[in-house]
Chain A
Amino acid sequence: MMFLRYAIYRFITMLLTLWVVSILIFVIINLPPGDYLSNQIAELRATGQAEGVAKAEFLRTEYALDRPIWEQYLIWVGMAPGPQGWYGLIQGNFGWSFEFDRPVSEVVGDALWLTVLVNLAAVLFVYMVALPLGVIAAAKSETWVDYTAAFVGYLGLATPNFLLALMLFYYGNKYFDLPIGGLMAPEFEGEPMSWEKVRSILVHLIVPTFVIGTSGAAAMMQRLRANMLDELSKPYVETAKAKGLGPSKLLAKYPLRMAFNPFVADIGNLLPAMVSGSVLVSVVLGLQTIGPSLLTALKSQDQFLAGFVLMFVALLTLIGTMISDLLLVLLDPRIRYGARGS
């Protein structure tokens, strides 16, 4: 019951945060003088293409870019009626991309889900690699196991992602016949989902996951190792030993549980770091994720597209933080009881 109440409370605060974030995003995007259309109009005027100007002017009123900024904001979010009535983010309209001359939802489309997919895979990879390696490195600290793990970790941290990507593509293709670039074989693009398509996506995911996840995994492994080492010297570990608990069970039940908190708390930070960190990788690997479109949108002041992508990343972050907060409450009674005020 208590947990449910906390979860609801946490959900509401998340929505409020998202709202504040939307204001920030909108203001920041509009900070540089001018907008996509006024730039375009100026350019058209300079080149003397009058009919283009008329269309751009039409779009300006159509998308309310001629109104004061706060009104623009309210219309964008959907908290005030615009030229097309109540039709903003809340109502499910993500806006119009001037750069691509299509609705944002169409531009982003599949990329949205592929982004989530790639990053979820990377996060899973991070956790699946960091957890066992970190624990083993701590349990066998200052032996060759520890040193090897640390070496591999630092290698992962120090290698630039795009370089790693190119190397993996080359050798992966040469020895394991892994596909190069893209998130699925070209023939499946735009096709409805099928087993073949899923299989193709999975095979294509291997290299990106590895590339995006390596440095995160290395960093997290080191952190987990350090936490574990701290915990291993605590008296309660000795108590457990004196009870007659076997080494692996002891490790998993007591110090690992304690070292787990920072591990879980990282979920929130991991997601946005990966989305923004994977932009370069996505460009290099030719992944149709949201990263490259964000880059173009920001460059050309395509405000609705940029705004939507940023909102999406913010949403991912907030969801990640919420998940980690809720997990922490489930995992650690001290936090649970602290929240209860006892």
Chain B
Amino acid sequence: MVTPLLDVRDLSIGFGSADAVVRDVSFQVMPGETLALVGESGSGKTITCRSVLRILPQAAQIRSGVINYSAGGKTCNLLTESRRTMRSIRGNQISMIFQEPMRSLSPLHRLGDQVGEVLRLHRDMRPGEAKKTVLDTFERVGFPDPTRVWRSYPFEMSGGMRQRAMIAMAMVAKPELLIADEPTTALDVTTQAQVLGLIKELQLETGMAVILVTHDLGVVANMAETVVVMNKGRVMERGPAPAVLGSPAHGYTKKLFAAAPMIPEVAAPARAETSDDLILDLRNVSKTYTMRAGGWRKPVTITACHEVNLSLQRGKTLAVVGESGSGKTTCARIALGAELPDPGGEVLFRPTKDADQVKINAMSQQERVHFQRQAQMVFQDPYSSLSPRMRVQQALTEPMEIHQLGTRAERRDKAAEMLRWVGLDASMLSRYPHAFSGGQRQRLSIARALTLDPVLLVCDEPTSALDVSVQEQILCLLEDIRDRVGLSYLFISHDLAVVARIADEVAVMRQGVIVEQAPPDTLFYNPRHPYTCALIAAQPEPDVNRPIDLGLVSQGAGKPSSWPEAFRFEGVAAPALTELEPGHKVRCHV
């Protein structure tokens, strides 16, 4: 029998005198194996993985348990080793990658210095030799120009590149075990696919074991051999990935699966009927920002979106999907009149079927006040979009106060009714937001948006800060409300799978341009544009038999000049958006 590389037994960790946040957790990691710790926020998965390196918050106490680490024929308990020994293990035999590559690297030190530091600490290498090893590692993790990276600061790089640098830092000493704590959660899907691919490749090459902490079953299916499902500090289910993912035994695992958003497999799409009753119409909307440069330099212009045409039918949901920097949020802001489009573009809004159209980009003060009642927004982060110093009642009645609607009692009744609509209890009116969970807070902000009886709701990534099971509930709620009162949604998201269930029409944006637009069924059944194909392929599926096709991802996510002939272009000369079949527009040369 092979000794496990890491053997965690009956680990319990708590804070102060409160109940333990990790309770009797046991699992083993074999050499060269990938183990996934899966769970939602608050499940204790992060605390568990950090206890291996003993980098816990100061207040955390390890209450019981053993973490045996065996390498080179020696076994030691990581929980009782001296600090000195721990330091010689950290970064050397066990290394770690963190969630936020933006903040996990020091902005003041060059990458070469930060990565090379590991070797200076743990290896007796001459500076030249160390530099060579670091440069080799940079090359290995996919940097085209390692010497430039050596001299670069983290803020000069994109998120994906920084995470590559983090991986290089973790890999440079060739550790036995790599702990990756949500390594791709902060990244775009296509970048995520490439980073996951890289970790896997490096693992094959060096034979290290990996503990992958994640909330995403799709990532698990693509990476792990063994799965440990955690909930509220306890292990719910543990076993080989195919077994756990194929036929989950525990109720909680089943629930996780049911909630995981998936891109549906569509047979032939049904033709959707179209009406010309448009509630919102963006015509030829472009937005360029001018960055004021210091000194004598010329100002730089940045195009956030370029010639965007979008129309939203009354009672439907239009989703704009894209990765960070694609201009989707700019579109939403322009649609709400929070920002003006460049001259030439216009935004038209028709509050009811027979009302006059309002030009959002040229409203009078009175029209604006009126428009603000009819169009509301749900924000991404429910933790920061509710004032922590306002009671729920205040937060919900404030919009009505501003617009001088109803009496005090009526406003209160309306707030209570809205709370019931979003599935909360009217008795919660007197509480403060901190008493609510993330999902409940998002319900609150939806309730707040509804208090003015709007006809249009702009949802800017309303579920991306939430756990999967909560995300599912919020999406249901949004659908429910839309159908109950005939709301129309402009839905902004980075996640095709989320959009798949709620949208009637999907526009895929890339760097400020819509590259493909169609009803979701058509889009998933027959995606044409390489970038859309990459987005769909990069979406991790919780199915071990459907791994991510990295080739497809890297082609679509690459430069436009590497796309197939029909879509290829150089510089900014993108081809026009062409209607290939009714309702399916693709940016290609015909």
B108 CB contact (under 8 Å) in A240, A333, A342: A333
For A230-267 the 0/1 string (1 means CB < 8 A from B) is 00001110111111111000000110011000000000
Chain A, Cβ-Cβ closest to B105: A236
Whether the Cβ atoms of B98 and A235 lie closer than 8 Å is yes
Chain B residues with CB under 8 Å of A240's CB are 106
Measured between alpha carbons, how far is A253 from B294 in the docked complex, in Å? 30
- Contact across chains for A235 and B103 when beta carbons are under 8 A apart: yes
Are A236 and B104 touching (Cβ within 8 A)?
yes
Which residues 250-309 of A have a CB within 8 angstroms of B? 253-254, 257-258
* A-facing residues in B89-129 (Cβ within 8 Å): 89-92, 95-96, 98-100, 103-109, 117-118, 121-122
Q: Which chain B residues border A243 with CB–CB below 8 Å? A: 90-91, 95, 117-118, 121, 169
Give chain A residues whose Cβ lies under 8 Å from the Cβ of B155: 333-334, 337
B344 at the interface (CB under 8 A from A): no
- Digit string of A205-247 for contact with B (CB within 8 Å is 1, else 0)? 0000000000000000000000000000011101111111110
Residue A332 at the B interface, CB < 8 A?
Answer: yes
- B89: nearest chain-A partner, CB-CB: A244
Which residues does chain A contribute within 8 Å of B156, judged by CB atoms?
A: 337, 342
Q: Is A341 an interface residue (CB 8 A)?
A: yes
Main secondary structure on chain A at its contact with chain B? helix
Contact among A236, A257, A333, A338 with B103 in the assembled complex (CB-CB below 8 Å):
A236
User: Cβ of B106 and Cβ of A246 under 8 Å apart?
Assistant: no
Interface presence of A69 (CB below 8 A): no
**Chain B neighbourhood of A246, CB < 8 A:** 87
* Chain B, range 60-110, C-beta contacts under 8 Å to A: 86-92, 95-96, 98-100, 103-109
From the candidates A242, A257, A338, name the one contacting B95 in the complex (CB within 8 A).
A242
Q: Given A238-B98, A337-B155, do A245 and B108 touch, yes or no (CB 8 Å)? A: no
Task: Determine whether A339 belongs to the interface, using a CB cutoff of 8 Å to chain B.
Answer: yes
Nearest B-chain residue to A233, judged by Cβ: B57
Given A235-B104, A243-B91, does the pair A337, B153 have CB atoms closer than 8 Å?
yes
Cα separation A244 to B117 with both chains bound (whole Å): 10
Min Cβ gap A257→B in Å is 5
Contact A239:B98 (CB < 8 A) given known A257-B108, A333-B153, A339-B295: yes
CB distance from A62 to the nearest CB of B (A): 46
CA distance A78 to B80 in the complex (A): 76
Q: State whether the Cβ of B2 lies closer than 8 Å to any Cβ in chain A.
A: no
Residues from chain B with Cβ under 8 Å of A257 in the complex: 106, 108-109
Asked if A341 and B106 make an inter-chain contact with CB atoms under 8 angstroms apart, the answer reads no
> Per-position contact with A for B270-300: 1 when CB-CB < 8 Å, else 0?
0000000000000000000000011101001
Tell me the bound Cα distance from A295 to B98 in angstroms.
Answer: 59
Partner of B117, one of A245, A333, A338: A245
Chain B nearest CB, measured from A81 CB (Å): 36
Cα–Cα distance between A242 and B169 once the two chains are bound (Å) = 10
Interface-central residue, A243, A253, A338, A342, by most chain B CB under 10 Å = A243
Contact of A238 among B55, B92, B95, B153 (CB under 8 A): B55
A14 to B447, CA, bound (A): 55
**Interfacial chain B residues near A235, Cβ < 8 Å:** 98-100, 103-104
Task: Give the nearest-CB partner of B102 in chain A.
Answer: A235
Indicate if the CB atoms of B294 and A338 lie closer than 8 Å. Answer: yes
Distance in Å from the Cβ of A14 to the closest Cβ of chain B? 16
Is A334 within 8 A of B87, CB to CB?
no
| Least CB separation from B298: chain A residue | A341
Alpha-carbon distance between A258 and B109 when the two chains are bound, in angstroms: 10
Which residues from 298 to 342 on chain A have a C-beta closer than 8 Å to any C-beta of chain B?
331-334, 337-339, 341-342
In the complex, are the beta carbons of B122 and A339 less than 8 A apart?
A: no
Residues of A within 8 A of B241 (CB): none
A147 and B355 alpha carbons, distance in the complex (Å): 68
State the CA gap A331–B106 with chains docked (Å): 13
> Taking CB as reference atom, which chain B residue is nearest A239?
B104
Give the docked Cα–Cα distance between A238 and B91 (Å).
12
Interface: B262 (CB within 8 A): no
Cα(A124)–Cα(B99), bound, Å: 41
Residue B535 at the chain A interface, CB threshold 8 Å: no
Write out the residue numbers on chain B whose beta carbons fall within 8 Å of the beta carbon of A234. Answer: 103
Cβ of A194 to closest chain B Cβ, rounded Å: 46
**Chain B nearest CB, measured from A249 CB (Å):** 9
Q: How far is the CB of B68 from chain A (nearest CB, A)?
A: 20
B35 beta carbon closer than 8 Å to chain A: no
Is B103 touching A242 in the complex (CB atoms < 8 A)? no
**B6 lies within 8 A of chain A by Cβ:** no
Tell me the bound Cα distance from A67 to B568 in angstroms. 77
Name the B residues within 8 Å of A339 (CB-CB): 294-295
Give the contacting residue for A254; candidates B55, B88, B106, B121; CB below 8 A.
Answer: B106
Contacts of B91 on A, CB cut-off 8 Å?
A: 242-245
Q: When the two chains form their complex, are residues A332 and B108 in contact, meaning their CB atoms are under 8 A apart?
A: yes
Mask: chain B, 195-223; 1 = CB below 8 Å from A; 0 = not: 00000000000000000000000000000
Please pick, from B53, B105, B107, B153, the residue contacting A242 in the complex, using a CB distance under 8 A: B53
Q: Which residues of A contact B294 (CB under 8 A)?
A: 338-339, 341
B contact residues around A334 at 8 Å (CB): 107-108, 153, 155
A332-B109 Cα distance, complex, nearest whole Å: 9
Q: Which residue of B lies closest to A245 (CB)?
A: B121
Please, how many angstroms separate the alpha-carbon atoms of A182 and B267 in the complex? 96
Which residues of chain A are within 8 angstroms of B90 by Cβ–Cβ distance? 241-244
Contact partner, B105, options A239, A244, A245, A338, Cβ 8 Å: A239
Query: Measured between alpha carbons, how far is A331 from B107 in the docked complex, in Å?
Result: 11
Give the distance to chain B from A181, nearest Cβ to Cβ, in Å.
46
Select the residue from B89, B98, B106, B109 with max chain A CB neighbours within 10 A.
B106
Verify A258–B295 contact, CB threshold 8 A. Answer: no
The 8 Å CB contact of A244, one of B92, B103, B295, is B92
Interface centre among A234, A236, A254, A337 (most CB of B within 10 A): A236
Closest CB-CB distance, A177 to chain B, in whole Å?
Answer: 47
Cross-chain contact A236 with B297 (CB below 8 angstroms): no
What is the CB-to-nearest-CB distance from A234 to chain B, in angstroms, rounded to a whole number? Answer: 6
Chain B residues near A333 (CB-CB < 8 A): 107-108, 153, 155
Contacts of A9 in B (CB 8 A): 295
- Contact (Cβ within 8 A) B106 A245: no
- Measured CA separation A334–B100 after assembly (Å): 19
Complex: A257 Cα to B106 Cα, angstroms: 10
Type the 1/0 row for B449-476, where 1 means its CB is closer than 8 Å to any CB of A: 0000000000000000000000000000
A241, A253, A254, A334: most-surrounded residue (chain B CB, <10 A): A241
Is the Cβ of A341 less than 8 Å from the Cβ of B295? yes
- Contacts known (A242-B90, A245-B87); A341 close to B118, Cβ less than 8 A: no
B15 to chain A, nearest CB (A): 16
Return chain A residues, CB-CB under 8 Å to B109.
253-254, 257
Set of chain A residues within 8 Å of B86, measured between Cβ atoms: 244
Inter-chain CA distance A243–B114, complex, in Å, is 10
**Max count, chain B CB within 10 A of own CB: residue among A239, A331, A342:** A239
Cα(A254)–Cα(B297), bound, Å: 33
Roughly how many angstroms separate A334 CA and B86 CA in the complex, as a whole number?
33
Q: How far is the CA of A334 from the CA of B550 in the complex (A)?
A: 35
- B87: chain A residues within 8 A (beta carbon): 244-246
Residues of A near B297 (CB, < 8 A) are 341
Closest to A236 in B: B106
Nearest 4 CB-CB pairings of A with B: A244-B90, A243-B91, A244-B91, A341-B293
Could you pull out 13 A-B pairs where Cβ atoms are within 8 angstroms?
A236-B107, A239-B98, A241-B55, A241-B90, A243-B121, A244-B87, A244-B88, A254-B106, A254-B109, A257-B108, A333-B107, A333-B155, A337-B156
- Residues of A at the B interface (CB closer than 8 Å) are 9, 234-236, 238-246, 253-254, 257-258, 331-334, 337-339, 341-342
| Apart from A9-B295, A238-B104, A243-B121, 7 more pairs, CB < 8 Å | A239-B96, A239-B106, A243-B95, A244-B91, A244-B122, A334-B153, A341-B294
